[in-house]
Amino acid sequence: MSFFTALSGLNAAQTDISVTSNNIANVGTLGFHGSRAEFSDIFTNSPYSRPASQVGAGTEVSRIAVDFSQGSVTATGNVLDLSLQGPGFFQVRTGPDAGADLGYTRAGAFGMNAEGFVTNAAGHYLTVFPTAENGDTLSTTQTGRLQIPQQFGVPQATTSVDLSFNVSLDDNGGLGTQAALPAAPFDPADPGSYAYSTQIPALNAEGEAVPAQAYLVMTKAPDATDPSLAYSVQLVLDGEIATPADPAARLSFDGDGVQTGALGDLGFTTAAGALSLDLAGSRATQSPFAVTAVSQDGSRRLDLSSVEVRDDGTVWANYGAERSVAVGQIAVANFADLQALSSIGDATYLASRDSGPARLGVPGTSGFGAVQSGSVERSNVDLTEELVNLIMAQRNYQASAKALETNGALAETVMNIRS
């Protein structure tokens, strides 16, 4: 019996060394929780034995207890590096499929993958409560993977352009590059067939910029009897000459350079649809030809410019300088029995029957830690303490080995009595 008692002590010390070694090996692992081996003594009772004379039968591992206390927090500056101040875990989905396991971790080094999903180094997906675009939480019972769209908004093709010019009277009397009056048939490739041209902004239905130019063709030059001047307007969109809705419409100015014609929209028909030019505010001056103002009504999808995670766990995606959209609120989970969680590595746990289901809550509320962006929680292992434990486990191992050796010597002595 004493042989097996010493052997149980040897096995227990070996387990203690293994647990301590694992703690030391993971001292640099983010979100890692240290463990300790807990032992209980063994007694074999006989119905006829005297309690006062019972001798223990050794020891056994009762459980490997996990220390769920908070580790030190290190600032990183990365907005998607997250830590929890207080109890709870981040909920993650271990795979992209809806049937993948839900894991729980305090290792908060997250980043975006190519599809915009927020994941950690193990490929686990951070989950969030759904929110409205203004940040209102829609549900605190259902979670989904956090995805941050790289673009936002609905593209819209340009249908109207507001454009105003300064036409130069000093530039060949307003004739510009035009070779003669009347002009030769309009040809965008022939500067002699028009007086002035300028590029204008235009977007297609996908919100992509397309080349567009407006051309002024002089049809009336100022003279001694009539100082007014006039131009017909041509539009070329994506390499195609647009058809004017009113071919007789003219951009005209009086002798003082004040605009008198084309004060309303000039309509054009293009392959992509109708487009109008509003030339109000144009003038004829002695200054060089220039565009004084331009705007258009099309819109493009806005690109993601930055991400912000607030203390309540709401994740905001900022698009340009124009729009901020809430894309989810980080869910924090807690359990009735933390020791019953099942470890799957990567500082991640799964719920078990004994741990009970996860209780989900909003960060910073009662029973759930607050989220801090730009920082990560390190391992809670105290290296000095673990080295001391290692020395103690080594001594226990040596003592049990000595007891085993003594048992062998006693058995050898008995065997030698007959000889």
In this structure, are residues 105 and 399 in contact, taking their beta carbons and an 8 Å threshold?
no
Do 93 and 131 lie in one domain? The reply is yes
| pLDDT tens digits, one per residue of 256-266 | 999 999 998 99
Question: How many domains does the chain contain in total?
Answer: 3
Q: At what angle do helices 2-25 and 383-417 cross, to 10 degrees?
A: 160
Q: Are 283 and 178 in the same domain? A: yes
Same-domain pairing of 211 and 116: no
User: Domain check: are 225 and 103 in the same one?
Assistant: no
Residue ending a domain, choose from 235, 270, 296: 296
Q: Which residues pair with 235 in a beta bridge?
A: 214
- Are 308 and 342 in a shared domain? yes
Instruction: Name the band, by pLDDT with cuts 50, 70 and 90, for residue 301.
Output: confident
Average pLDDT, the chain: 90
Q: What is the CATH number of the domain that holds 279?
A: 2.60.98.20
324 and 232 within one domain: no
Encode pLDDT of 217-238 as tens digits: 999 998 888 999 999 999 999 9
Q: How much is the pTM?
A: 0.74
For the cut 70, the answer to whether the pLDDT of residue 52 exceeds it is no
Q: What distances in angstroms separate CA 160 from CA 249, 269, 280, 311, 357, one per listed residue?
A: 17, 12, 13, 44, 58
Domain boundary among 296, 324, 347: 296
Domain match, 245 and 326 both: no
318 CB burial (10 A radius; 0-12, 13-18, 19+): middle
| Local confidence band at 415 (pLDDT 50, 70, 90 cut-offs) | low
Q: Are 166 and 252 within one domain?
A: yes
Same domain for 61 and 104, yes or no, is no
Q: How far apart are the first and last CA of the chain?
A: 25
Write down the pLDDT at residue 58. Answer: 73
- Provide the domain limits for residue 16: 2-69+380-417
- Asked if 231 and 249 sit in the same domain, the reply is yes
What is the tens place of the pLDDT at every residue in 120-162?
Answer: 999 999 999 999 999 999 999 999 999 999 998 889 999 999 9
State both tokens at 315.
């994740």
Asked whether residue 164 falls in the same domain as residue 285, the answer is: yes
What pLDDT band is residue 54 in, cutting at 50, 70 and 90?
low
Q: Given 240, 264, 296, which residue is the final one in a domain?
A: 296
Q: How far apart are CA 115 and CA 5, in angstroms?
A: 58
Average pLDDT over residues 10-14: 83
